[in-house]
Amino acid sequence: MLTILFDGIAYGMLLFVLACGLSVTMGLMNFINLSHGVFSMAGGYITAFLINRWGVPFLLCLPLAFLFSAALGMVLERTLYRRLYARSHLDQVLFTIGIVFMAVAAVDYVIGSQQQTVKLPDLLKGRVDILGGSIGLYRVFIIALCGCLAVTIQMLLVKTRFGSQLRAAVDDPRVARGMGINVNTVFAITFAVGSGLAGLGGALGTDILGMDPTFPIKFMIYFLIVVTVGGTSGITGAFFASLILGIADVGGKYYVPQIGAFIIYALMVVVLIIRPQGLFSRSRGK
Amino acid sequence: MSNHPFSKRVWLTAPVLAGLSLLAPQFPQPAAAQDTVKIGVILPMTGPSSSTGRQQEAAAKLFIQQNGATVAGKKIELIIKDDTGAPDVTKRLAQELVVNDKVSVLLGFGLTPLALSVAPLATQAKVPQIVTAAATAMITEQSPFIVRTSFTLPQASVPMAEWSLKNNIKKVVTLVTDYGPGLDAEKWFSDTMTKGGGTVVENLRVPLRNPDFAPFLQRVKDASPDAVFVFVPSGFGAAFMKQFVERGFDKAGIKLIATGDVTDDDLLQEIGDPALGVVNTHHYSASHNSPENKAFVEAFRKANNNMRPNFMAVGAYDGMQLVYKALEKTKGNTDGEALMAAMKGMSWTSVRGPVSIDPDTRDIVQNIYVRKVEKVGNELYNQEFATIEAVKDPFKAAKK
Amino acid sequence: MSMTPTAHQMMLDQARWRWSESLFWLLSLGVLFAFPSKALLFSQIAIMGLFALSLDLILGYGGIVSLGHAAFFGVGAYAAGLMAKHGLGDPLLGLAVAAAVAACVGWLTSFLLLRGSDLTRLMVTLGIALMLFELANRMASITGGADGLQGMMVGPVLGLFSFDLFGKTAYLYALSVLFVLFLLARKIVHSTFGLSLRAVKGNALRAGAIGISASSRLVAIYTLSAAFAGIAGALSAQTTQLVSLDVLDFHRSADVMLVLVIGGVGWLYGGIIGAIMFTLMQDWLAGITPQYWEFWIGLVLVCLVLVGHDRIGAGVKSMVARISGKGSAA
């Protein structure tokens, strides 16, 4: 029982780190980015590469994965994505899907289609017994790390000057510019951080979710579900949505395996029917 | 709206269209090409099953490279197509290959629905369809022109159950991927187990697109069986194995038994140490000890950037072998029925061991090996330690 | 004629059948004679075109974005497939039943889409399609599950033309159905209903103020679109004589969206032209590089957006206008 709850939380936390960048770009910046998974894939592959080729320790790989994906996100944002902020949603969909196709085929060409694996440090292997349930250490690690990240990001958004600048830039870019906020830079940094988090999620998730060239397509749907169910109020929504979905998915598959595959979709549809704007919405001043 | 210009022009166009369509264009009839024998190879080269396509393409090309592109005075030409794993595309490609390219043989078919989609066409066009990958048992029953050189899941699962019964594994949970081959494996393993006096506590089915095995594994653990029997498609093995070990099954005394799909040669190295000691049954291991296989593995690695061949590669390699042998026997006659007659009962020494084509079911008869994952040098291999000779597909045998 | 056309005339002008359109349809028939060996590909294009046309009805005219349109394609395909499996192999009957079943599903689910933003609708449609996919997988005794539906026996069209190996009947059949349904769609979007729909899409609040109920219009067009998609699915099932889970798969919904956006949203021909471009390009690229064609498709999409696909759409439109101008003068 407790084990299942913990597994669900760990899965949810992983979803959160993977998707929270998207919930910022999509929810706050109103940019539909279906290629978000590409950055996760970048993080996962760079981790697998560093560990398997150069024997870099796993824990060191995590920040590297973050930096690598963030840099990639920054470059792509500056060169390509930036042009699409003002375009229609359909254009954004078309463009980002195109990026996904290219990334999938390119990774396949360069590295091959096989699954990537990472070696976890012994420290994170094994299980601990807590209150009669046995929990994998790696999952405990994920929960702790992602929990900290969630708090940090929330603090950044709410408490810091950058957070206020971002919110201002999103609400009304023109006025924000007038106030002397460099909107372009704010967006670029936000995009980079979001991509970096996706990369970190990819690195963390490789061991549990698997990592192959089709990752961006396979998980696109899950990211979208998290963002939509969470609503556009920023990352709080995404956080709770990930947790609920993670627990419901794992729990559902454990208790009623016959209908396990339905649960996450059904949950999403029900939530969206009751609250079309997602769990946590905010009124947008238009 | 009476003077609406819309309708008038439409009604002028429509009869013209209708009239023209009656003038049936003249279509060329399919005829056997003179000196070239074309083989249409349809494989999933992109999408989730692309690893199957890669292995098979490489093997088919290697076979031609090794055996020359001429047989019985005819030049062999491969036409390779990607069906992306979508059955309607498979069917269209097959149809185009038959009608436009006039292929004499269709070969490949990575997944069960893909193979099935072409079955009616094979019957209609009288073109042999050689299934080199898809492994649901009933495929060969769908057309008298289907031959299989891969394996069937009952073929691999029944020996696993028999071995388990002999080795004091009596209480088992099955965990399979929820689609045709998985259900085949589940049914035949469970039936054999139950008949032999064992019990199957639970049959778990994992959805085909399932990112996390955790809840299913937890259910297995709670049932605390002697062993868990697993089938997941080639490619899913790595993620499964990791979680299996992470959950501490070895310490709980739950053994893992599987069909060889889980410890696929292509992935084994990636899975790494967690796979050590897993007992499984299958028809091919890259470490199979025979001169034919050693030469094959070496050549395959050399031609493909050190990629290790897996059972998919061998399916295609033997598919090509079968085409060559049949052509030799018919002296280059590419008539579908003649080729089929030549293929039935054909036997040869494959890199996997002796094989033959069952003349009644057109399915492959082959040895099934019981293997254990061990470290050989720096690499992991499925080391064969017992052989069950000349296994026919139990599914069709049971019908008689 | 007065220099300032009345609104009535303007609408008539828009609805007018141009000679270039006749040319388009004659050409689409002519390609069969020019390239008989590609008949199968053409019928796949015609079906994709019809499917994209159905999406255009809700996206271009109703303003509803959907990432789950395969739901209706799949329902139609399974309906027609099951009919053919159980002895009712007449193709036209199959189309009718598929349309009816898909319309029912469309009508029922349309009520879930009346509220919410684009994103919400996108995800609700996606969720419904994915649930149907799992349902079809689960009900293997009826649908054949992941193995696909076996044993379809499709009769000859109108009792006369049976489906041949070359795909000639398949293409003519698919093209005729596409043509008839295209005319129907054309009639509808230029009818008063179609105009009221445009009003709702433009500004639902104002449309409501002049007495147009947004909800009933959206429900109606969504149901119609579902029926069209269902027919496309049925066509696919009948011409290929197979139905598998793939018809409900996510990639099908995504593909049709791409096709429509490439061809241009909101002018009925967009879906068909997109289908032609996308399928031909895919077939050509996959012929050259079976492993990595996706990369090039992706590159084309990216470039298309950067250059601006509306410009390509506008180019085609102006070309059509020019040709039809000449046509009318002659």
Q: Considering only CA atoms, which of B77, B44, B37, B36 is closest in space to residue B60?
A: B77
* 3-state SS, residue A87: coil
Decide if pLDDT at B14 tops 60: no
Tell me if C294 and A101 make a contact (CB, 8 A cut-off).
yes
Encode pLDDT of A134-174 as tens digits: 777 888 888 999 999 989 888 888 888 888 888 888 778 78
Kindly list the residues from chain C whose CB atom is less than 8 angstroms away from the CB atom of residue B13.
Answer: 17, 21-22, 25-26
DSSP B84: T
Q: Listing from the earlier edge strand, what are the strands of the sheet with B105-108? A: B70-71, B74-82, B36-43, B105-108, B129-131, B146-148
Rounded to a whole number of angstroms, the distance between the first and last alpha carbons of chain C is 20
pLDDT at B2: 41
Residues of A in contact with B216 (CB under 8 A): 253-254, 257
Q: What is the pLDDT of residues A167-213, one digit of tens each?
A: 888 778 788 888 888 888 888 888 898 899 999 999 988 888 878 88
Pair B135, B153: CB distance under 8 Å = yes
Token pair of B290, please?
């025979």
Q: Would the CB atoms of C150 and B180 count as touching at under 8 Å? A: no
Interface of B with A (CB under 8 A): 46-48, 50-51, 54, 204-205, 207, 209-212, 214-216, 218-219, 235-236, 238-239, 242-243, 246-248, 266-267, 270-272
**Tens digits of per-residue pLDDT, B94-140?**
988 988 888 999 998 988 888 988 988 898 889 999 999 888 888 88
Measured between CA atoms, the residue of chain A closest to residue C264 is: A90
Average pLDDT of chain C?
Answer: 84
Residue C150 scores a pLDDT above 60: yes
Walk me through the domains of chain B, giving residue ranges and CATH numbers. Answer: 36-151+290-362 (3.40.50.2300), 154-282+368-397 (3.40.50.2300)
Q: A224-228, B13-17, B236-240, C109-113 — which is least confidently predicted?
A: B13-17
Say if the Cβ atoms of C292 and A266 lie within 8 Å.
Answer: no
Q: Can you give the pLDDT at residue C185?
A: 93
Instruction: Indicate if the pLDDT at residue B25 is higher than 70.
Output: no
Average pLDDT of span B379-398: 86
Which residue in chain C is spatially nearest to A80 when comparing CA positions? C306
Q: Please say if the pLDDT value at position B255 is more than 50.
A: yes
Q: Do B95 and C36 touch (CB under 8 A)?
A: no
Question: Is there a contact between A138 and B246 if contact means CB atoms under 8 Å apart?
Answer: yes
Nearest to C148 among B50, B113, B207 (CB): B113
| Chain B environment of C190 (Cβ under 8 Å) | 6
Q: Do C309 and A94 touch (CB under 8 A)?
A: yes
Percent of chain B clearing pLDDT 70 (strictly above) = 90
d(C-alpha B258, C-alpha B224), whole Å: 17
Best residue of C166, C188, C282 to probe chain B, by most B CBs closer than 10 Å? C166
- Tell me which H or E stretch contains B75: strand B74-82
C165 and B10 within 8 Å at the Cβ level: the answer is: no
Residues on chain B touching A113 (C-beta within 8 angstroms): 50-51, 54
Give the three-state DSSP class for C197.
Answer: helix
Give the Cβ contact number of residue B19 at 10 Å: 9
How far is the C-alpha of B191 from the C-alpha of B163, rounded, in Å? 14
Q: Which residues in chain C (36-65) have CB-CB distances under 8 A to chain B?
A: 36-37, 40-41, 44
Here the ipTM equals 0.80
Q: Which sequence spans correspond to the domains of chain A?
A: 2-214
Q: Work out the minimum CA distance from B268 to partner chain A, whole angstroms.
A: 11
Inform me whether the pLDDT recorded for B86 exceeds 50. yes
Q: Give A39's pLDDT tier (boundaries 50, 70, 90).
A: very high
The secondary structure of C30-79, three-state, reads: HHHHHCHHHHHHHHHHHHHHHHHHHHHHHHHHCCCCCCCCHHHHHHHHHH
* Least confident interval from A73-77, B231-235, B320-324, C192-196: B231-235
Q: Can you tell me whether residue C191 is helix, strand or coil?
A: coil
Give me the mean pLDDT over the A18-29 stretch.
82
pLDDT tens figures, C255-314:
898 899 888 888 889 899 999 998 998 888 887 877 788 888 888 888 888 877 555 656
Q: Please determine, for residue B27, whether its predicted confidence score (pLDDT) is greater than 50.
A: no
Confidence at residue C11, expressed as pLDDT on a 0 to 100 scale: 67
Return the pLDDT at B398. Answer: 78
Q: Residues B239, C166: contact at Cβ < 8 Å? A: no
Strand pairing class (B279-282; B347-350):
unpaired
| Residue B18 reports pLDDT greater than 70 | no
A136 CA to chain C: closest CA distance, Å?
30
Closest Cβ opposite residue C295 in set A84, A95, A101 = A101
Work out the minimum CA distance from A275 to partner chain B, whole angstroms.
Answer: 27
The rounded mean pLDDT for chain B is 84
d(CA C70, CA C125): 9
Q: Which two tokens stand for residue C192?
A: 């008063």
Distance CA(B130)–CA(B118), nearest Å, equals 11
Mean pLDDT of chain A: 84
> How do residues A220-233 score in pLDDT, each as one tens digit?
888 888 888 887 66
Of B12, B53, B92, the CB nearest to C41: B92
Does residue B11 carry a pLDDT above 60? no
Judging contacts by C-beta atoms under 8 Å, the chain A residues touching residue B242 are 117, 207-208
Give the model's pLDDT for residue A270: 87
Surface of C (184-223) touching B: CB under 8 A: 186-187, 190
Whether B3 has a pLDDT exceeding 50, the answer reads no
